[in-house]
């Protein structure tokens, strides 16, 4: 007999506002404890010195983590000029310094070099694996490793207004907003901009304001979950903090299935659309069933997420079935 998993079966997403000084792993652990959830994971690590949106997947939502990891992310961050640090953020040791400070015009002039598809090298202190070891573990041992460069995509990159900050502070620090694709290291951007400008630079603050459809303005404080832990006798309605599984799938087609179709897909079987009304259902979702392309879609039943499916022609194949 299979061992019953401990905890409650909760399915969905939490849009968490991770505070500075807390690791992503610790945040996940606190939520697991507060909700007594069977299965919890996150959709993209935030460094301890960073704050902002940390998507937390519960239960069957962990099967959709790749969709949130692939989503565009928006950050607001501050670069301090004049120093390069070992970690490329405020936590590291100073390894280079300069008296030069860039003007806003000089900074603006180099931003196009960081737009679109670019090549960047992740920081020495990163989670990249080198021969099975994390780069940050190797770096902490005082070793320098060669980390391969990678292509990343920057959708937008701009300087934030500096109003209210003294002129001397404006010379030493610059604030930015960026929207970027998967795998982009903001710390690497600060390092590379500093090198191009000839003054060095590192990240002195970093805030993630958006991940896919999840925005910071709607995020939930970690303090709420600490209160649940401190007052376990008070029943909390998880519906107030847990978003539906399909929340992170808002940019893919959602195919509503009928009774018999849903039953087949739930059992892992493919279904075929043969009648004109059924084919019209695909066309209404913008799916060209006559093409050779395979479309990923969310199959729903009675308004609830049922499975991730691939639509090839008029064939619908279940890829991941949700046990809701």
Same domain membership, residue 197 and residue 103: yes
CATH of the domain at 34: 3.30.2350.10
In angstroms, the CA 212 to CA 149 distance is 25
Contacts of 43 (CB under 8 A, 6+ apart): 54, 55, 56, 57, 65, 68, 69, 211, 248
Mean pLDDT of all residues in 120-140: 64
2 falls within a domain: no
Same domain membership, residue 233 and residue 162: no
- Work out the pLDDT band at 1, boundaries 50, 70, 90: very low
Predicted pLDDT at 137: 59
Same domain membership, residue 109 and residue 190: yes
> Above 70 in pLDDT, residue 235?
no
- Work out the pLDDT band at 255, boundaries 50, 70, 90: very high
pLDDT digits (tens, 9 = 90+) for 141-174: 566 676 788 899 999 999 998 766 666 656 899 9
In angstroms, the CA 312 to CA 294 distance is 5
Pair type for strands 214-215 and 201-211: antiparallel
26 falls within a domain: yes
Same domain membership, residue 201 and residue 93: yes
Q: Which of 194, 224, 247 is the last residue of a domain?
A: 247
> Above 60 in pLDDT, residue 102?
yes
Same domain membership, residue 218 and residue 207: no
Same domain membership, residue 110 and residue 144: yes
> Above 90 in pLDDT, residue 240?
no
In angstroms, the CA 273 to CA 163 distance is 59
Same domain membership, residue 219 and residue 304: no
Predicted pLDDT at 231: 84
Which residue would you say has higher pLDDT here, 18 or 5?
18
Mean pLDDT of all residues in 174-198: 95
CATH of the domain at 309: 2.30.130.10
Same domain membership, residue 172 and residue 137: yes
**pTM of the shown model:** 0.89
In angstroms, the CA 231 to CA 21 distance is 23
- Work out the pLDDT band at 129, boundaries 50, 70, 90: low
Same domain membership, residue 48 and residue 34: yes
7 falls within a domain: no
Tell me how many domains the chain contains.
3
What's the whole-number average pLDDT of the chain? 89
Which residue would you say has higher pLDDT here, 316 or 238?
316
pLDDT digits (tens, 9 = 90+) for 275-318: 998 899 999 999 888 888 999 999 999 989 999 999 999 999 99
Predicted pLDDT at 126: 57
1 falls within a domain: no
Chain Cα centroid distance, residue 172: 30
149 falls within a domain: yes
Give the catalytic positions in this structure: 47
5 falls within a domain: no
* Cβ contact 150:138 at 8 Å: no
> Above 70 in pLDDT, residue 36?
yes
Residue ranges making up the domain that contains 233 = 12-70+214-247
* Cβ contact 247:44 at 8 Å: no
Mean pLDDT of all residues in 102-119: 96
Residue 309's DSSP bridge partners are: 297, 318
3 falls within a domain: no
Instruction: Pick the range with the lowest mean pLDDT from 109-123, 231-245, 246-260, 307-321.
Output: 231-245
Same domain membership, residue 41 and residue 104: no
- Work out the pLDDT band at 122, boundaries 50, 70, 90: confident
> Above 80 in pLDDT, residue 203?
yes
Same domain membership, residue 241 and residue 119: no
Same domain membership, residue 258 and residue 291: yes
233 falls within a domain: yes
Contacts of 184 (CB under 8 A, 6+ apart): 73, 120, 152, 153, 154, 178
Which residue would you say has higher pLDDT here, 122 or 136?
122
């Amino acid at each position: 007999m299979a061992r019953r998993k401990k905890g409650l079966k909760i399915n969905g997403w939490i849009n968490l506002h991770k505070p500075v000084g807390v690791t992503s792993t610790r945040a996940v652990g606190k939520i697991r404890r507060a909700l007594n959830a069977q299965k919890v994971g996150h959709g993209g690590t935030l460094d301890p010195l960073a704050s902002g949106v940390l998507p937390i997947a519960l239960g069957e939502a962990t099967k959709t983590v790749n969709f949130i990891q692939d989503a565009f992310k928006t950050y607001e961050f501050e670069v301090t000029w004049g120093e390069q640090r070992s970690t490329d953020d405020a936590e590291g040791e100073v390894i280079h310094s300069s008296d030069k400070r860039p003007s806003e015009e000089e900074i603006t002039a180099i931003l196009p070099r960081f737009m679109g598809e670019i090549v960047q090298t992740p920081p020495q202190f990163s989670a990249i694996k080198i021969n099975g070891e994390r780069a940050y573990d190797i770096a902490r041992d005082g070793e320098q490793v060669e980390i391969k460069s990678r292509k990343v995509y920057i959708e937008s990159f701009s300087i934030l207004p500096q109003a209210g900050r003294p002129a001397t502070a404006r010379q030493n620090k610059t604030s930015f907003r960026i929207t970027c694709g998967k795998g982009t290291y903001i710390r690497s951007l600060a390092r590379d901009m500093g090198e191009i400008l000839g003054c060095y630079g590192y990240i002195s603050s970093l805030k993630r304001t958006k991940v896919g459809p999840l925005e910071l303005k709607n995020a939930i404080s970690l303090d709420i979950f600490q209160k649940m832990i401190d007052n376990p006798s008070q029943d909390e309605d998880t519906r107030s903090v847990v978003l539906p599984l399909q929340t992170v799938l808002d940019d893919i087609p959602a195919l509503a299935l009928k009774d018999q179709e849903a039953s087949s897909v739930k059992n892992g079987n493919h279904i075929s659309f043969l009648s004109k009304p059924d084919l019209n259902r695909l066309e209404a979702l913008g799916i060209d069933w006559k093409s050779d392309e395979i479309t990923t879609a969310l199959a729903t039943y009675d308004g609830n997420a049922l499975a991730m499916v691939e639509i090839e022609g008029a064939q619908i194949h279940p890829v991941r079935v949700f046990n809701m």
